[in-house]
Chains A and B, each alone.
Chain A
Amino acid sequence: MTAPLLSVRNLTVHIGAATPVEEASFDIGAGEVLGIVGESGSGKSLTLRAIMGLLPRVAHMSGQILWRGRDLMALPETELRALRGREIAIVFQEPMAALDPVLTVGLQITESLTEHLGLRGRAARTRAAEVLELVGIPDARRRLSSYPHEFSGGMRQRAMIAIALAAGPKLLLADEPTTALDVTIQDQILKLLLRLGAELSMSVVLVTHDLGIVAETCDRVAVLYSGRIMETGSVETIFRRPAHAYTLGLINSVPLAKNARQHLASIPGAPPDPLDLPPGCRFAPRCGLAGPECTLRQPELRALTAAHATACVHSDAVMRSVLNS
Chain B
Amino acid sequence: MPPSFSFCRGESGRHGEPLLRADDLVRGFVVRGGAWGGSRPVVRALGGVTLSVLQGETLAVVGESGCGKSTLARALVRLIELDSGQIDFAGENVRALRGQALRRYNRRVQMIFQDPYGSLNPRMTVGEMLEEALRVHRLVPTAQRTGRVAELLSLVRLPADTADRLPHEFSGGQRQRIAIARALSVEPELLIADEIVSSLDVSVQAQILNLLLDLQQRLGLSMLFVSHDLRVVRHLAHQVAVMYLGRVVEIGDADAVFEAPMHPYTQALLRAAPRMQPGRRSQTAALAGELPSPLSIPSGCPFHPRCPLAFDRCRVEVPRLHVRADGHSAECHVASAQ
Contacts and interface: CB of A to CB of B under 8 A. Distances in A.
Interface of A: 39-40, 152-155, 182-188, 190-191, 194-195, 209-213, 215-217, 235-236, 238-240, 249-257, 259-268, 270-271
Interface string B64-77: 11000000000000
B220 interface: no
A253 to B, nearest CB: 4
Point out which of A152, A188, A249, A263 has the most chain B C-beta atoms below 10 A from its C-beta.
A188
Interface stretch (B47-55, B79-87, B97-105, B199-207): B199-207
Interface in B319-337: none
B22 interface: no
Contacts of A256: 231, 276
B272 A239 contact: no
Majority DSSP secondary structure for residues of A touching B: helix
B235 A255 contact: yes
Contacts, number: 137
Given A238-B278, A252-B206, A257-B258, 7 more contacts: A155-B290, A210-B274, A212-B274, A216-B275, A239-B277, A256-B276, A270-B173
A259 B210 CA distance: 12
B278 A183 contact: no
B284 to A, nearest CB: 7
Given A216-B274, A255-B234, A187 B286 contact: yes
Interface string B33-46: 00000000000000
Nearest to A216: B274
A39 B207 CA distance: 14
A191 B283 CA distance: 6
A249 B202 CA distance: 10
Given A182-B228, A184-B268, A39 B202 contact: yes
Contacts of B213: 261-263
Interface in B189-215: 201-207, 209-210, 213
Interface size class, chain B: 35 or more
B297 interface: no
A239 B276 contact: yes
B273 A212 contact: yes
Q: Which 10 A-B pairs have the closest CB atoms?
A: A212-B274, A266-B206, A255-B235, A182-B64, A187-B272, A39-B201, A253-B206, A267-B203, A184-B287, A188-B285
Given A182-B65, A182-B228, A255-B206, A216 B279 contact: yes
B63 to A, nearest CB: 9
B254 interface: yes
B46 to A, nearest CB: 19
Given A182-B228, A187-B285, A216-B280, A254 B202 contact: yes
A39 B232 CA distance: 17
B278 A215 contact: yes
A183 B228 contact: yes
Contacts of A182: 64-65, 228, 291
